[in-house]
Structure 1
Amino acid sequence: MTIRNSLLALLAEQPAHGYGLKSAFEQRTAGTWSLNVGQVYTTLTRLERDGLVEPAAGGEGQKQTWRITDAGRTVLRDWLDAPVLADPPPRDELVLKVLLATATDSIDLGPILHSQRVATLERLQRLTRLKAKADPDQELAWTLLLDALVLDAQAQIQWLDLCEARIAERDR
C-alpha cells in the first residue's frame, strides 16, 4: 500500500493536517487499514521535500495544514493511470507456509490446509454477512472493499482445493 500516493489523493480533494489525513484515510478504507500518525507526518515531510505538497496558509496557533502542488497532482494522476501489477507477486504468508511445508516429508500438509480452510470459510461467512448489510448507494467504498475481500477469500478456498487435489495426486 502506498501511503505517499494515498495522501496525495486525499490532499487533491482539500488541504488537511496530518491527523485529518489519518482519519480520512481510515474512513475511506472503511477502517480496514490504519495509519500511524507519525508515518503520516514523516510522509508529508518527504512529500514537501520532493515538491509534491506545500504548507497551506493557516492562522497562528493552528495545526499545520498541507495542500497538493501541481507536481503532486501530476504524480497522483500518473499513479492512478498506471495499472497495478503483481509481478513479482507480493509475499503471501499462506503460500509461503505451504511451499515450505512441501519441501519436507516430515510435515503433513493435511492439517495445515484443513485449519486454513476452516478459518477462511469463517472469514467468508463473516464478510458475506457484512456485505448483505451494506448499502451500496450509501456505502460504495465499503461495499467495493467487501467485494474484493469476498472474492479473495473465495480464491483462497479454490487454491486450497487445488493444493489438496495435487497432493492427493502426488501421493497416489
Structure 2
Amino acid sequence: MYGQGMSLRFGVLGLLAEEPLHGYEVKTRFEEMLGGTWKVNIGSVYQVLQRLERDGLVEATGDRGDRGRQAYRATVAGISGLTEWLEDPDSQPQLLREDFYVRLLLLGRQPNGHLARLLDRQRRVYLQRMRDLADQEKIARERGRPQVALLFKGGQLHTEAELKFLDAVVDEMGKE
C-alpha cells in the first residue's frame, strides 16, 4: 500500500508519536533506535518533518526549546497512519534492485573472467559483513539492547542468504 522508502518518514512519525521532539532529537533517536546502522542527514529529517506537517500528520507544538528549535508531535491522523503502516506487511522488498544484481547480469554477458572476479570479491565483502554484524550483535546484547541485537541478527541471516546465492551462481556457471 505504501511506497518504498517510507522507513524514514514513518520512523520520524513513530518517534513523534512517543513524545514531541525537535529535528535534531529526531535524528539522534532514529540513529540510536537503529543501533547506528543508518546515519541520517539532518536536512532529510527536516524535509520529512515539513512533508509530515503539510500532510497533517504532525504539528508544531508552538514550544521552542532553549535553542529556539521547533518541536513537533504526531496528530491523531498521524498516529492512525502510523498504526496502519506498522500493521501493513512489506509486500515488495527491494532485494532484486541492488547494484550487485545489475553487475552480475551485465558481467554474465561478457566472455572474459570478470564475473568470477566479481563473485570472489563479493564473497569477501559478505564474509566481512557477517563478522561485523556478529560483533555488533554481541555488543548490542552486552548493552542490554535485545531489539537492536535482533536487527544485527537479521542482517546476518540476509547476508548468509546472499552467500548461498553466490554459491548457486558459481554452481550454475560450472554447468556452462
Q: What's the TM-score once normalised by structure 1's chain length?
A: 0.90
Q: CA deviation at 1:153?
A: 1.2
CA contact (8 A) 1:54 1:69 kept: yes
Q: CA deviation at 1:56?
A: 0.8
Quote the residue 1:48 is aligned against: 53
Tell me if the contact between 1:30 and 1:141 (Cα under 8 Å) persists in the aligned partners.
no
CA distance in 1, matches of 2:30, 2:94: 27
Which amino acid counterpart does residue 14 of structure 2 have in structure 1?
A
Q: How far has the Cα of 1:89 moved from its partner?
A: 4.5
- Give the structure 1 partner of residue 37 of structure 2: 32
Q: Tell me if structure 2 keeps the 8 A contact 1:47–1:53.
A: yes
Shift in Å, 1:107: 4.5
CA distance in structure 1 between the aligned counterparts of 2:155 and 2:85, rounded to whole angstroms = 23
Q: State the distance in 2 between where 1:75 and 1:112 align.
A: 43
Shift of 1:28: 0.2
Q: Single out whichever of 50-59 and 155-164 deviates more from structure 2.
A: 50-59
Matches within 5 A, 1:53-72: 53-59=58-64, 62-72=68-78
Q: So what's the TM-score if we normalise by structure 2?
A: 0.88
How many residue pairs are counted as aligned between the two chains? Answer: 170
Choose the corresponding residue for 2:81, options 75, 79, 89. Answer: 75
SS state at 1:67 partner = strand
What is the identity percentage for the equivalent residue pairs of Structure 1 and Structure 2? 33
Q: Quick check: 1:9–1:76 contact (8 Å CA) kept in 2?
A: yes
Please give the alpha-carbon distance, in whole angstroms, between the structure 2 residues aligned to 1:167 and 1:60.
61
Please state if 1:13 is matched with 2:28: no
- The alpha-carbon deviation at position 69 of structure 1 amounts to 0.3
Q: CA 1:37 to 1:49, structure 2 compared with 1: closer, same or farther past 3 Å?
A: same
Match of 2:158 in 1: 152
* CA distance in structure 2 between the partners assigned to 1:43 and 1:65 by the alignment: 14
Shift of 1:136: 7.2
CA distance in 1: counterparts of 2:33 and 2:134, whole angstroms: 20
C-alpha spacing 1:44/1:133, structure 2 compared with 1 (3 Å) = closer
Q: Any stretches of 5+ residues in structure 2 without a counterpart?
A: none
Classify the secondary structure of the residue corresponding to 2:73: strand
Q: Distance in 2 between matches of 1:147 and 1:135?
A: 11
Misfit runs of 4+, over 6 Å: none
CA contact (8 A) 2:137 2:150 kept: no
Distance 2:42 2:96 in 1: 25
Separation in 2 of the partners of 1:60 and 1:151?
42
Relative to structure 1, the CA distance from residue 60 to residue 14 in structure 2 (aligned partners, 3 Å threshold; closer, same or farther) is closer
User: Would you say the 8 A contact 2:138–2:149 is kept in 1?
Assistant: no
Q: Distance in 2 between matches of 1:144 and 1:101?
A: 35
User: What are the Cα deviations for residues 19-59 of structure 1, in whole angstroms up to 9, with x where unaligned?
Assistant: 00000100001111111111111111111111111111315
